[in-house]
Amino acid sequence: MPSEHHEHHETQHALERVFSYISPGTNEGISFSLSRVTDDLFADSFLAGGDISLFTPASHRGSIRSQLSNGYVLAGGGGAPAEFPIDLSVNLGSGRAEGSWTLPDGTAQAPHFGLQHVETLDTPEGVRILFAGETTSDDAVYSLALVLI
């Protein structure tokens, strides 16, 4: 089992890799998927995704922010999932993510959570990096996947 020091090192290495990819402004972008799981699958658990390649070069490694991204909550009685806009930002220095969205029932949320690296896959189509949410500000479980296109 990896130590906390090793996990922190791997997370920092993954965040540095994202920074090195997006900071020169020469790459196409970064896509993301975010899953949020709570005790109510049909009210406030969701799957979201979109583009997260708005880069701001501030502090150590800067940050990335989503644009034109949506979340989807499953309908309890079947049918199409309910769609809503989502904003997500990731501080590449601290490894903290912050979200902002209003669920289809009108509940506004602005959680934040730390990131812990889970796995990185290098493929011909791009680099895929998976993070787990850690030390969340709410009772949800998060996972964040980034695809460096």
**Which domain CATH number covers 27?**
2.40.128
Q: Which residues contact 149 (CB under 8 A, 6 or more apart)?
A: 27, 28, 29, 30, 31, 125, 126
Q: Does the predicted model carry a pTM greater than 0.85?
A: yes
pLDDT tens, position by position, 34-45 = 999 998 888 889
3-state class percentages of the chain: helix first, strand second, coil last, to nearest 5: 15, 50, 35
Q: What is the pLDDT of residue 12?
A: 96
Burial of 7 (0-12, 13-18, 19+ CB in 10 A): middle
Which residue in 107, 95, 128, 125 sits closest to 9, CA to CA? Answer: 95
Does the pLDDT at position 3 exceed 80?
A: no
CA distance 27 to 116: 24
Which pLDDT belongs to residue 119? 97
Q: Provide the domain limits for residue 84.
A: 4-148
Residue 46, pLDDT score: 95
> What mean pLDDT do residues 9-30 have?
91
Domain count, the chain: 1
Q: How distant, in Å, are the alpha carbons of 17, 65, 74, 119 from that of 136?
A: 23, 19, 22, 20
State the Cα–Cα distance between residues 72 and 59, nearest whole angstrom: 33
Residue 43 pLDDT: 84
12 — phi, psi (to 5°)?
-65, -40
